[in-house]
Chains A and B, each alone.
Chain A
Amino acid sequence: GSFTANKKLNKSSLIFRAGVQFSSTTDKEEAMLEKPEKPSFPPNYTPPKVWTFEEQEGLMGGMNRPTAGARFEKELQKGAHDIQLYSLGTPNGMKVTILLEELVDLIPDFEYDAWKIAIFDLDQFSSGFVDINPNSKIPAMLDTSMDPPLRVFESGNILRYLAEKYQNFLPSDPRKRTETFNWLFWNMASAPFLGGGFGHFYNYAPVNIKYAIDRYTMETKRQLDVLDKQLEGKVYLIGDEITIADFAIWPWMLCIEKFYKADEFLQLESYKNVKR
């Protein structure tokens, strides 16, 4: 196969690294140094002692940095309504726009302002946006009914905040409410494996890595099975009422099908309750 073990140890590099701990190499330490390295890809790759940044190529790779913070000065636009949303139509962005549009349908006179943050133009690194979300991710929100305006970031927190503020899509019954938060948090911690894991390695990475594709496909299918079993005999995630848990999870299901084109690969049809 192509897993080439580094049979020729780069002994000098090992001694250099070991030199941090040992002042001289004894027989015992020599024996330690002879341990074979893990196979690696590319075959001549060894993790350095200290990771250093190299700009990646590609449209998305090129914008990534190991540092945070504003990269240029620019204020955000603001409208007249209480809720100012700064976002994009990605799965996490959609969670919030779905909720807001539901509120528009439900509450007379409810309106909000939404502004596009073009992540490929690096809008998320403007000083105005970083003030609202130091993590430089969408969605991010300001509630300007408070003085000074209140920042809310993370899709899960925005869903929680809006649902509590407008008293909708979050059950008041303590049992159902707790269960809603169980699933909301489940989504927040599961989606990174679906997106940054599966979606990335299946769809976007410049190299098809079997190990990574297998790992994240297994996890994604596992999550789909968790969901499918939970939805057995239920209309919505927690029962008969639609909640922010549904709004959080749904856009990622859409993403599998529409953005990743992975419905056949993952046999999405077989998860009958999820499809329904």
Chain B
Amino acid sequence: ATSLYSRKYLLAFLVKASAFQTTVPTNRAFSRTSNIMSETTKPTLPSEYVVPDVWTFDDPSSSNQPTAGARKEMKLKRGEHDLQLYSLATPNGMKINMLLEELNDLKGIEYDAYKIAFSDLDQFGSDFVAINPNSKIPAMLDTSMDPPLRLFESGSILKYVAEKYDAFIPTDPRDKVEVFNWLFWQVGGAPYIGGGFGHFYKFAPVHIEYAINKFSMETKRQLDVLDKHLEGKTFVVGEQYTIADIAIWPWIMCTIKFYGGKDFLGIDSYKNLMKWYNMIDERPATKRAFRITGFTPDAIAERHSKEDLM
């Protein structure tokens, strides 16, 4: 049987690795046609596949497209509170739900939340695209500003909201930097857990060993980074619950509950991680967060006040 990982690729990697210089390669540099490993000798899946010179795509019925922008006219609702959240309780959406519910517990902050239904392609509605041209949830408006201020990317929203209400970010300058170390770590790492591991292990229509191995390895590596960091700690930073914890937690939850990663990735072996995970799982705000624009039987599509969750 043909091995995927033949030693002849070592030479190709060595030649390609030279592209990672500390200076930008010159024009002469590395050309695909001068590659020792020519394209036709790489195995392919499917076997008759040849990488085209120019990639094309023509399937208007696909919800995934290589283009951005609005696909339909659609007005979004707006409530009375400062913050208007347009979202879904996916892992990234959960981050914001958790923070806002914590602020509700801590300071009585209220906000409006509206569900963006992917099944209806609401993320490509004109109002939504004006808030987030990337057409992803979560997205937010701060209507206390005129005109309202748009926020997109869960990391940006966590930072903004925590700073606005002066909570869940440490005041100590060293701890604050450390929170942002881990917040940025999370947003850069999650794509490999979600778009990588979750996709190829659970959702892709074909089980591709190479991809599953690659992203399983990376996901476990991240879990180990976290587990080692949490040694002797209660929270990710300092002795307080911060947006670093809030950003990281939903993706661990997703890996365990939705991707079926608990056994496959041996998550119970990460003792510090599981202890931290279980602790946050118990917080009342976490439990409510699942329901807001969520998928559970007790989910609510809109949230306007604490009463909506009772």
A229 at the B interface (CB under 8 A): yes
B42 CB, min distance to chain A CBs, angstroms: 5
B30 CB, min distance to chain A CBs, angstroms: 7
CA distance A161 to B177 in the complex (A): 8
A8 at the B interface (CB under 8 A): no
Are A178 and B13 in contact, CB atoms less than 8 angstroms apart?
A: no
CA distance A2 to B44 in the complex (A): 10
Are B54 and A264 in contact, CB atoms less than 8 angstroms apart?
A: yes
Name B225's closest neighbour in chain A (CB-CB).
Answer: A68
* Contact count band on B: 35 or more
A182: chain B residues within 8 A (beta carbon): 150-153, 156
* Contact count band on A: 35 or more
Are A225 and B69 in contact, CB atoms less than 8 angstroms apart?
A: yes
B195 at the A interface (CB under 8 A): yes
Across the interface, B68 reaches (CB within 8 A) one of A37, A45, A134, A225, namely: A225
A218 at the B interface (CB under 8 A): yes
Q: Which parts of A29-73 form the interface with B (CB within 8 Å)?
A: 37-42, 45-51, 53-54, 56-61, 64-69
| Contacts known (A58-B5, A161-B177, A175-B145); A208 close to B159, Cβ less than 8 A | no
| Contacts known (A50-B263, A57-B7); A209 close to B188, Cβ less than 8 A | no
Are A47 and B30 in contact, CB atoms less than 8 angstroms apart?
A: no
Are B55 and A217 in contact, CB atoms less than 8 angstroms apart?
A: yes
| Contacts known (A89-B21, A152-B181); A41 close to B207, Cβ less than 8 A | yes
Q: Once A and B bind, how many residue pairs between them come within 8 Å at the CB atom?
A: 286
| Contacts known (A41-B209, A185-B156); A153 close to B22, Cβ less than 8 A | no
B149: chain A residues within 8 A (beta carbon): 174-175, 178
Across the interface, B6 reaches (CB within 8 A) one of A2, A69, A181, A206, namely: A206
B188: chain A residues within 8 A (beta carbon): 154, 156, 188-189, 191-192
CA distance A178 to B149 in the complex (A): 8
Q: Which parts of A178-194 form the interface with B (CB within 8 Å)?
A: 178-179, 181-182, 184-186, 188-193
Are A153 and B24 in contact, CB atoms less than 8 angstroms apart?
A: no
Are B195 and A267 in contact, CB atoms less than 8 angstroms apart?
A: no
| Contacts known (A67-B221, A192-B188); A222 close to B181, Cβ less than 8 A | no
A229: chain B residues within 8 A (beta carbon): 68-69, 133
Are A134 and B225 in contact, CB atoms less than 8 angstroms apart?
A: yes
A221: chain B residues within 8 A (beta carbon): 55, 66-67
A231 CB, min distance to chain B CBs, angstroms: 11
Are B4 and A42 in contact, CB atoms less than 8 angstroms apart?
A: yes
Name A94's closest neighbour in chain B (CB-CB).
Answer: B24
B45 at the A interface (CB under 8 A): yes
Q: Which parts of B189-222 form the interface with A (CB within 8 Å)?
A: 189-192, 195-196, 199, 201, 204-214, 216-218, 220-221
Are A254 and B208 in contact, CB atoms less than 8 angstroms apart?
A: no
B214: chain A residues within 8 A (beta carbon): 200
The contact string, 1 if C-beta is below 8 Å from chain B, for chain A 203-216, is 11111111111110
Q: Which parts of B61-102 form the interface with A (CB within 8 Å)?
A: 64-69
A143 CB, min distance to chain B CBs, angstroms: 9
Are B45 and A189 in contact, CB atoms less than 8 angstroms apart?
A: no
A116: chain B residues within 8 A (beta carbon): 22
Q: Which parts of B246-275 form the interface with A (CB within 8 Å)?
A: 263-266
A266 at the B interface (CB under 8 A): yes
B184 at the A interface (CB under 8 A): yes
A233 at the B interface (CB under 8 A): no
Across the interface, A264 reaches (CB within 8 A) one of B53, B150, B152, namely: B53
A134 CB, min distance to chain B CBs, angstroms: 6
CA distance A265 to B206 in the complex (A): 25
Are B66 and A89 in contact, CB atoms less than 8 angstroms apart?
A: no
| Contacts known (A50-B266, A51-B220, A89-B20); A261 close to B31, Cβ less than 8 A | yes
25 examples of A-B residue contacts, CB within 8 angstroms:
A37-B207, A38-B205, A41-B207, A50-B264, A51-B212, A51-B265, A60-B13, A135-B189, A152-B177, A153-B185, A156-B184, A156-B187, A157-B183, A185-B154, A186-B134, A191-B188, A196-B196, A204-B13, A207-B43, A209-B210, A218-B57, A222-B64, A229-B68, A261-B30, A264-B54
Residues of A within 8 A of B (CB): 1-3, 37-42, 45-51, 53-54, 56-61, 64-69, 88-90, 116, 119-120, 134-135, 146, 150-157, 160-161, 174-175, 178-179, 181-182, 184-186, 188-193, 196-197, 200, 202-215, 217-218, 221-222, 225-226, 229-230, 254, 258-259, 261, 264-267
Q: Apart from A68-B225, A208-B45, list 18 A-B contacts with CB within 8 A.
A: A38-B206, A47-B207, A51-B266, A53-B217, A68-B228, A151-B181, A157-B183, A178-B156, A181-B153, A182-B150, A185-B155, A186-B156, A209-B211, A222-B68, A229-B69, A258-B25, A259-B25, A264-B54
